[in-house]
Amino acid sequence: MPIEIPKDKWPGSVRKVTVGATAAEGGTRAKTVTVGGQTTMPYLQYEALTPNTPVVAIEIKSRKPEDWSPLLVETWGDAMSDPAQWAKKAEEAGADLIVLALTLEDSADDAVNAVKSVLSATGLPLIVWGPGQAEKDNDLLVPVAEATKGEKIMLGICEDKNYRTIVATAMANGHLVQARTPMDVNLAKQLNILITDMGLPADRIVMDPTTGALGYGIEYGYSVMERLRLAALQGDAMTQLPMMVTPGFEAWKAKESKVGEGVPEAWGDWAARGIHWETLTAVALVESGADLIVLRHPESVKRVKEAIAELMVTA
């Protein structure tokens, strides 16, 4: 019995965005990463091929974090006190990009030094996050952007309260931005409009629609991503950007991953649970359209990359 498979024909597509620049392109990266370009809902290869493989970044910090789960501290060990070493280990663990998160304790010099040491330790493209307080973000990200002109770093995290300075410095120094909004299609569009209105080309923006961890609101992020991708395919220009999510950050904040003692017995083995929590959060978001996934644990990186590779296989 011949079956006519219903295929969606979409007028729109997702933009391609490239992070990092090689020597030939004015940077120092050994390779660049390109995401986006889809013309279908995630991985429906029978409808149209997925042009760029979604990628995984590993999050490291400029200083050893005090509040990370002991499971992560055990895994990364001494490398956590040295961002260059940490970045190298992250590259070995399979990262396609590095996220370097700066902290409130960093001075502008500390921040620039940390970024430079990471750039020389690995050839991977880089994403740099400010500490998340508008003023401090500006104090650190501007000098970092200037000191790395032309590297096509992604600067973040741009939110409605802090985007202006970050976008201005990204424009001036040839970088990209990560645009985050709280799980809302219209807010995502609006921030993209504000950013492009300042003059940053849309192919230098990756949107971050925010996610919650498994058990802590993942369903909102999951559905907002599906809705954003549907809007993009329907032709809404200000949603046609690749999406990035931070399941590592969210999942390792959850009690399930963070804490080993004093939890219900039914939660099972702590180490295995931590990995499941991060991996399953990430895999669900991969299914809903994530192009760039930021993780923390090497084992989750392995599992999520394997899943993506399997989803990319074409018959």
Residues at the contact surface with ligand B12, assessed by CB under 6 A: 182-184, 187, 210, 212, 216-217, 220
| DSSP conformation class of 4 | -
Q: Please say which residue, 64 or 164, places its beta carbon nearer to ligand B12.
A: 164
Helix ranges (H only) for the chain are 70-76, 83-92, 108-121, 134-147, 163-173, 185-197, 218-234, 247-251, 255-258, 270-287, 298-312
Residue (of 212, 204, 202, 208) closest to 238 by Cα position? 202
**Quick check: 23 binds another protein (CB under 8 A)?**
no
In the chain, the amino acid numbered 58 is I
**Quick check: 9 binds another protein (CB under 8 A)?**
no
Q: Is 2 left (phi over 0), alpha (psi -120 to 50) or beta?
A: beta
Cis peptide before 157 (omega within 30 of 0): yes
> For residues 216-235, which are near another protein according to CB under 8 A?
216-219, 222-223, 226-227, 230
Q: What is the secondary structure of 183-216 as a DSSP string?
A: S-HHHHHHHHHHHHHTT--GGGEEEE-----TTT
**Quick check: 311 binds another protein (CB under 8 A)?**
yes
Q: Minimum Å distance from CB 165 to ligand B12? A: 18
From residue 44 to residue 63, the character string flagging contacts with another protein as x (rule: CB under 8 A) and all else as - is xxx-----------------
Residue (of 302, 314, 307, 313) closest to 96 by Cα position? 302
**Quick check: 66 binds another protein (CB under 8 A)?**
no
Given 155, 284, 290, 295, the residue binding another protein (CB under 8 A) = 284
Q: Please say which residue, 37 or 216, places its beta carbon nearer to ligand B12.
A: 216
Record the tokens describing residue 278, joined without a space.
């991060």
C-alpha 251/C-alpha 92 separation (Å) is 22
- Distance between alpha carbon 290 and the CA centroid of its chain, in Å? 9
Q: Minimum Å distance from CB 44 to another protein? A: 6
Scanning 25-33, 93-101, 131-139, 296-304 for contacts with another protein by CB under 8 A, the matching segment is 296-304
With beta carbons less than 8 A apart as the criterion, state whether 250 and 211 touch: yes
Q: Minimum Å distance from CB 183 to another protein? A: 9
Given 279, 289, 291, 295, the residue binding another protein (CB under 8 A) = 279
**Quick check: 265 binds another protein (CB under 8 A)?**
yes
Q: Please say which residue, 13 or 223, places its beta carbon nearer to another protein.
A: 223
**Quick check: 24 binds another protein (CB under 8 A)?**
no
Structural element, H or E, at residue 25: none
**Quick check: 269 binds another protein (CB under 8 A)?**
yes
**Quick check: 276 binds another protein (CB under 8 A)?**
yes
Q: What angle do CA 115, 208, 278 make, to 5 degrees?
A: 80
Q: Minimum Å distance from CB 19 to ligand B12? A: 24
| Residue ranges binding another protein (CB under 8 A) | 1-6, 41, 43-46, 214-219, 222-223, 226-227, 230, 255-256, 262, 264-270, 272-273, 276-277, 279-280, 283-284, 287-288, 299, 303-304, 306-307, 310-315
